[in-house]
Amino acid sequence: MDIKDLLTSDEIAFFTKKSDLTGFRIVAFNWLLIAAAFAIAGIWPSPVTIFISVLLLAGRQLGLSILMHECGHRCLFKDKTLNEKIGRWLTSAPLFLDMNSYAKGHLVHHRKAGTKEDPDLGNYQNYPIPRASLQRKFWRDITGQTALRLITAARKNKGNVMNSPDRAADTVVSRANTTMQDGLIVNATLLLVLTLFGAPWLYLLWVVAYLTFYMLFLRIRQIGEHAAVPDLFDSDPRLNTRTTYANVIERLLFAPNRVNFHLEHHILASVPIYHLKAFHDHLRNKGAYQNTEIASSYMAVLRHVTT
């Protein structure tokens, strides 16, 4: 699919226009939701509010990872330095992620989507699957088993790299150490802020959210994007990628920051997230989605990917 068959040069310029102010507003909005999630449990502590707080925190952790993804594409801000600095300290470091390493691998996903060389294929190739199998995956997510497996694999991989005679291994280890240091700095700052408010125990909710529901929401996001699409191995994004309409609850939890408009992202990756909905509407009005399946909700997607 050639983007020039769908859009004029002026339309491409319009939808790919970046705004530093809008980027700051989105980052601030995500962190304000994080503050609100802590406040709910801190001001009215109870099992119910703590559970709600964990859900909201997990949703915003996914939200931060989406913003990291956006900064990795150099799309959240117009200014390159802002994408690098904000992406590093306010979106990836809180989750102990390396934005640049992620972006490097993610760009391969964009180039290879629709082929068997897609590096992310393992996340969605086997769908549809039995409902019981998906329930087991969800159970492993919310009980921390998935997170533990990922952490163990990361530690093992770092150990293997450190023992490698390859000179490039030093660079990999150095990046991993920098990522860990950044994560510790940001998380220690978060703990300090909560302590200053007299509620250091709230930091435990951040950790619990990361180890449990963040993993669940991340999985649901991946399923929504590429699982059981019309043709996973067709080069046309309209066949290998899915856009899903999301309600308010879904957007709070597993579809933050317009990530549900994933087809549009694959059609033109340089469109910032704050233009994706308008871009979707524009393509639809032009007839580009005449024979394209748009999922009505994430629940509809989950029903579709199970047997």
Tell me the per-residue pLDDT of 172-227, one tens digit each, with 9 for 90 and over: 778 889 999 999 999 999 999 999 999 999 999 999 999 999 999 999 999 999 99
Return d(Cα 65, Cα 222) in angstroms, integer. Answer: 13
Q: What are the beta bridge partners of residue 306?
A: 129
Q: What is the pLDDT of residue 169?
A: 60
Q: What is the pLDDT of residue 164?
A: 47
Return d(Cα 83, Cα 13) in angstroms, integer. Answer: 19
Q: Considering the entire predicted model, what is its pTM?
A: 0.94
The pair of structure tokens assigned to 76 is: 């959240």
Which pLDDT tens digit goes with each residue over 113-172?
Answer: 999 999 999 999 999 999 999 999 999 999 999 999 999 888 776 555 444 455 556 677
Return d(Cα 178, Cα 185) in angstroms, integer. Answer: 11
Work out the widest C-alpha separation in the chain, in whole angstroms: 58
Q: What is the pLDDT of residue 262?
A: 98
The separation between the first and the last C-alpha atoms of the chain, rounded to the nearest angstrom, is 31
Q: What is the pLDDT of residue 71?
A: 98
Return d(Cα 148, Cα 54) in angstroms, integer. Answer: 18
Residue 141, classified by CB atoms within 10 Å of its CB into exposed (0-12), middle (13-18) or buried (19+), is buried
Residue 165, classified by CB atoms within 10 Å of its CB into exposed (0-12), middle (13-18) or buried (19+), is exposed
The contacts found for 172-176 with CB under 8 angstroms, 24 or more apart, are 175/98, 175/100, 175/101, 176/98
Return d(Cα 33, Cα 62) in angstroms, integer. Answer: 12
Domain boundaries, the chain: 3-304
Which pLDDT tens digit goes with each residue over 3-22?
Answer: 878 899 999 999 999 999 99
Q: What is the pLDDT of residue 43?
A: 98
Could you give the 3-state DSSP secondary structure of residue 303? Answer: helix
Return d(Cα 223, Cα 125) in angstroms, integer. Answer: 10
Return d(Cα 275, Cα 264) in angstroms, integer. Answer: 10
Q: How many CA atoms lie within 13 A of 97 on its CB side?
A: 25
Q: What share of the chain is helix, strand, coil (3-state, %, to 5)?
A: 70, 0, 30
Could you give the 3-state DSSP secondary structure of residue 119? Answer: coil
Residue 69, classified by CB atoms within 10 Å of its CB into exposed (0-12), middle (13-18) or buried (19+), is buried
Which pLDDT tens digit goes with each residue over 44-101?
Answer: 999 999 999 999 999 999 999 999 999 999 999 999 999 999 999 999 999 999 999 9
Q: ω before 128 within 30° of 0 (cis)?
A: yes
Could you give the 3-state DSSP secondary structure of residue 268? Answer: coil
Q: Which is higher by pLDDT, 264 or 1?
A: 264
Return d(Cα 178, Cα 108) in angstroms, integer. Answer: 23
